[in-house]
Structure 1
Amino acid sequence: MPVEVILPKVDMDMATGRISRWYVDEGAAVKKGDLLFEIETDKAAMEIDAPASGTIRDITGKEGIDIAVGEAVAWIYAEGEAGKPAKDVVAEAKPVQNLAPAAPASVATASAFSPALAPVKAVAPSMPLNGTRATPLARRLAAEAGLALETIAGSGPKGRVMRKDVESAMTAPKREVKAALWPDQIISRPPASSQPRPAPQRSAGAAPLNFAWLRQGEGRPIVLIHGFGADLNSWRPMLAAGPVDAPLLALDLPAHGGSPRHTPADLDAIAADVEATLASLDLGPILLVGHSFGGAVAATVAARGHADVRALALIAPAGLGPEINGAFLQGFVRAKSEASLMPWLRQLVAAEQVLSKPFVNATLAQAADSELRTAQGEISDRFFADGTQTFDIRGLLAALRIPVRVIVGANDRIIPASQSQGLPGEVALHVFPATGHMPQVERREQVLKILLEMARA
């Protein structure tokens, strides 16, 4: 008989659980004790082991939905064993009463064999950290998303930040981000008295583009411009890679995030909006960083010379050749549900595991905004007509007299990595193997290190 893999009870108050990630695929050979999947609750994130050796089949426990404790989520078949299990898993979650006694919280993983309260790794209590109460899961999700816990309003007891609070913060309307993330409100340590800061007063409408200070620090500010279809929050996963001691400012491109939803005529028009936004903040010398389409915008800003750009970093930049994945652009803009969006998001990276839930949820929130997606479709048609990049930044890079680094993934399925070849000799090129179109997420430690080195130079 096949061995049931059930959703175990890892908390006394737990009636349902949610599988956040499967680590094995249908038909995989597993050994007893191998890691199968991860459960997330508001109190813990638990890794679940295989209760037996064999071949895992009939995986019915889907990621991201509530499943009743004790329900079978898969079966493990012995070698040569055939047939289907008699019991089908109910797709919808339903509470299941379980009166088994609790086991002591002492071991690292839970068994997927018994629906009784499974032994779990002891977790740190959700005590205040820098004055903020949060559940362990909320802390982990916030760290993955690069969100400062102290900026998130908690809905739990005594203001404790819960999972839903973190997810809500990722999908909050971006018009509110501009005020909510002003530097004085997001610092995680007291600023040094000599630390330069942008002036906190600005007139209404002074900045054409929506922006947010993701970090405050000392030295040269780093200004981040996202790619097509993203927003300023797409940089947050990179910030979880380590401490950042430089000020970080992120902008929303036109028709993205909280910026005005108009279709710019050309790259110069977008560059003018970036320049006006930077001028309203009086930043001084900056390191300018752009990803994908934002890379072409950043190169244009640097070449125009109106902003004080002292160094330029381009990550998987557009504008180095005509070829681009036109099917991705069209499919991404059309997608309205998680089922239709995920196949396109997977093309952005070499390993799907780096697509965090907050990132997916934030992208879904944008997909649900029909006005936003319509405007982005117009931008795609204008700048990537017929699946072709209609602009070229090679000449701009050749004319620059500032340090320039280009960072690409060898397995980029959106913009071929080969387009980065043949750049001027003074342009430093970093090519990361087994990496797709988002090196700042897939190789976030290395990319963040490069950017901080450039900011300090």
Structure 2
Amino acid sequence: MNDAIRKVVMPKWGLSMTSGKITEWIVAEGEEVSDGDDLAEIDTDKIAGTLESADAGVLRRVVADVNEDVPVGATIALIAPADVPDSEIEEAARLAREELESGAVEEAAGPVTGTVTVDGRSLAYATLGDGAEVVVLVHGYGGDKNSWLFVQEPLADGRTVHALDLPGHGESAKDVGDGSLDTLAGAVLGFLEQRGIERAHLVGHSLGGAVVTAAAVADPARVASLTLVAPAGVGPDVNAEYLRGFAEATSRRELKPHLGALFADPAQVTRQLADDLMKYKRLDGVDKALRTLLGTLLDGDAPALDVVPLLAKAELPVTVVWGSDDAVLPVSNARSLPDPDAVHVVEGAGHMVHMEKPNALVAVVSEKRR
């Protein structure tokens, strides 16, 4: 195949994704695209996302149809310069279609997983990329490394990107000790030490935002910058009902109404997402971990954390990203930041900015690292 013809493949967003379904082609055949342009909306078993182009040129051929179930790694479209002959495009499209229909698709490798031991606890992580620059992604309360499924891959272009499971979450040990911010920050710093990472950019969501802030203040030499996504511990407002509801739910029926608070569009909450969270909540030790961490997050109906003084001490670049429709930690909390005017407000996003509007977060993080 002509090297000028670039394949657009079904991405692997997260460890468990094996296929996806295109719900809409944003770009039509014959239209020019640039690196980073939105190409298509894709539905996974967890949530819908937008696929960006990794190449510039013309969308010469759409290979996969709307609503067709496509395995990860299969070619769904072809991008090439306008001067590539149609005959070559047709032959490449024919081969791609044959591969798709035969099912003989080489699946994308996806993240490499591993564990380290910190303070006697096993911490799980997933890694993409092999660049010298290192980014570490830290999820929020009740989340895990898979919550970064839409941003880890694009961030790994030229970088090494680790997504970490905090104690009590994902595949990490469920022992959270006293559940304090210092304990969780120690887990992040211990991960860096165990992996031999001398310096990293830390990105933290919600509780993870507070955790990476504490880590940066505790060991500033290891932290190059902070990107905080709807960080906990900033401002006076918190949706205590959501946090308690998440911790106390014992069935999918009880859990799903609370999950709607995470997204600007509650329809983003799929049955699969709720089922996966219930499987996690039923693991031994999770109930105790979540209740312990609830005490770290809440003092009655008010926030128990205040990381604003820590941010004032942090002598490193800090960027804050917040969804305009956040119903868990409202964007009005940003007024408590040392520099509230520097906040990137993402319109149409709720608390899960990195899942609802991942391209906006990727753009902020990538711009900051240049």
TM-score under structure 2 normalisation? 0.68
Q: In the alignment, residue 399 of structure 1 is paired with which amino acid?
A: K
Inter-CA distance 206–435: structure 2 relative to 1 (3 Å threshold): same
Q: Provide the C-alpha distance between the structure 2 equivalents of 1:46 and 1:320, rounded to a whole number of angstroms.
A: 38
- Cα distance 1:204–1:304, how it changes in 2: closer, same or farther (>3 A)? closer
Residue 315 of structure 1: which of 212, 220, 229 is its match? 229
Cα gap change, 1:310/1:43 in structure 2, threshold over 3 Å: closer, same or farther? closer
Residue 314 of structure 2 is aligned with which of 392, 396, 400? 400
Does structure 2 conserve the Cα–Cα contact (< 8 Å) formed by 1:207 and 1:277?
Answer: no
C-alpha distance in structure 2 between counterparts of 1:203 and 1:290, whole Å: 19
Shift of 1:264: 2.6
Is the partner of 1:294 in helix, strand or coil?
helix
Provide the residue aligned with 1:425 in structure 2.
Answer: 339
Note if contact 1:213-1:247 (Cα within 8 Å) is conserved in structure 2.
Answer: no
Q: 1:118-170 deviations in whole A, cap 9, x for unaligned?
A: xxxx89325444x33xxxxxxxxxxxxxxxx446xxxxxxxxxxxxxxxxxxx
Q: For 1:328 and 1:221, how far apart are their aligned partners in 2?
A: 33
Aligned to 2:254: 340
How many angstroms apart in 1 are the aligned matches of 2:147 and 2:236? 25
Partner of 2:78: none
Normalized per residue, the structure richer in strand is: 2
- 5+ unaligned residues in a row in structure 2: which ranges? 1-17, 24-44, 46-63, 69-96
CA deviation vs aligned residue, 1:87-112 (integer Å, no higher than 9, x gap): xxxxxxxxxxxxxxxxxxx99689xx
Is the aligned partner of 1:181 residue 2:94?
A: no
Shift of 1:373: 2.1
User: Are residues 1:369 and 2:283 paired?
Assistant: yes
Contact 1:222 1:248 in 2 (8 A): yes
Higher relative contact order (CA 8 A, sep 6+): 2
Distance 2:117 2:136 in 1: 21
1:247 is aligned to 160
CA deviation vs aligned residue, 1:214-251 (integer Å, no higher than 9, x gap): 31231311101110011112111334668733111122
* Deviation for aligned residue 1:362: 2.6
**How many angstroms apart in 1 are the aligned matches of 2:66 and 2:150?**
26
Query: Residue 125 of structure 1 aligns with which residue?
Result: 101
Distance (whole Å) between structure 1 residues aligned to residue 149 and residue 66 of structure 2: 29
Q: How does 1:181-260 map to 2 (within 5 A)?
A: 181-182=113-114, 208-239=121-152, 244-260=157-173
**CA–CA distance in structure 2, aligned partners of residues 425 and 329 of structure 1:** 27
What is the Cα deviation at residue 45 of structure 1? 5.3
- Deviations, residues 373-396 of structure 1 (Å, cap 9, x unaligned): 222112102431312211211111
Q: How many equivalent pairs are there? A: 284
CA RMSD of aligned residues (A): 3.2
Cα gap change, 1:284 to 1:243, in 2 (>3 Å): closer
1:441 is displaced (CA, Å) by 0.8
Whether the aligned pair in 2 keeps the contact of 1:329 and 1:380 (CA below 8 Å) is: yes
Provide the secondary structure at the position in 2 that maps to 1:213: strand
Query: Which residue in 1 is equivalent to 2:362?
Result: 448
Q: TM-score, normalising length from structure 1?
A: 0.56
CA 1:426/1:284 → structure 2, altered by over 3 Å: closer, same or farther? Answer: farther
Aligned to 1:199: none
User: 2:316 & 2:341 partners in 1: Cα distance?
Assistant: 9
Q: Judge conservation of contact 2:235–2:335 (CA < 8 Å) in 1.
A: no
Q: Identity over aligned residues, as a percent?
A: 27
| Distance (Å, rounded) in 1 between the aligned partners of 2:21 and 2:162 | 32
